[in-house]
Amino acid sequence: MLTGTHPVSAVDRALVVLATLAKHGGALTAIELMAKTHLSQSTLYRQLATLKRWGFVLEVEGRYAPGPLSLQLALGFDLASHLAQQARPDMLALAQQSQESVGLIVAVNSQAVCIDMVESRQALRCSFEKGRSVPLQKGASAKCLLAHLPPSALNATLAATLAPPSSVDLAELAAIRKCGYAVSTGEVDEGVWGISAPLFGADKRAVGALTLMAPSVRVLSKQSPLIQMTVVAAARISRSLCTH
């Protein structure tokens, strides 16, 4: 649940419920929601009743999931997201060139969230499902995003994820900023190799990351060209973001 110096309103509580359902990626029982949100039973049911009435939450056989209005919000985001629109052509080109999966990842509330995905056409492939989120702690995408957060935002993120300073290698983040990309193997999902490069907006601040992911066994001899492809594609997207 939300913590901090600001009072927690009913709107905050409703958003906590929605965010929890969104992150989980599936239906949850009321008991599971109470455990994840730390809301009392009476408070949770009040929020669920309101969210159900508005169509943001759907209840089926005692389990709760995002409702039809949540889908409309997602569709609206797809149509309105400047970042996703500008990145899509180069994501498609990179996926075709590399024959691997390519994702567009952003940092939201201490999470790395996939807002767009182009799947590899190969039978054995890796994927970061659109809408999926993971804590900003491990993996190429998370480290790339962390490396380009302003110091104050980085400290707030570490506090929100309850990650002790020792769990994040600040020297590694500095090295990522210097070389322009992050690489990881098996940090989030076993057997998955990833390369992530930052995307910069008109104000030169990082607005997301372009991530190529592939089975580790398939990239042993071609990591360097895959890294180069991804860095070049990210640079093209950044130029597009700065000129449109």
Tens of pLDDT, residue by residue over 13-43, are 888 898 888 877 678 999 999 999 999 999 9
- Convert the pLDDT of each residue in 113-172 to its tens digit: 888 999 999 988 887 788 788 888 889 999 999 999 988 888 877 776 655 544 568 889
Please give the Cα distance from 113 to 7 (Å, whole number).
Answer: 27
Mean of the pLDDT values across residues 172-189?
A: 93
Residue 49: both structure tokens together: 């009743």
Cα–Cα dist 226/230, whole Å? 6
- Segment 200-213 shows an average pLDDT of 92
Mean per-residue pLDDT over the chain, rounded: 86
Give dist(CA 156, CA 119) in Å, integer. Answer: 33
Task: Check residue 237 and give its pLDDT.
Answer: 96
Query: Each residue of 94-109: pLDDT tens digit?
Result: 999 999 999 999 988 7
In contact, 43 and 30? CB cutoff 8 Å: no
Report whether CATH 3.40.50.300 matches the domain 81-243.
no
CATH code for the domain defined by 10-73: 1.10.10.10
Residue ranges per domain, the chain?
10-73, 81-243
Quick check: do 10-73 and 81-243 share a fold?
A: no
Q: Give the mean pLDDT of 190-213.
A: 94
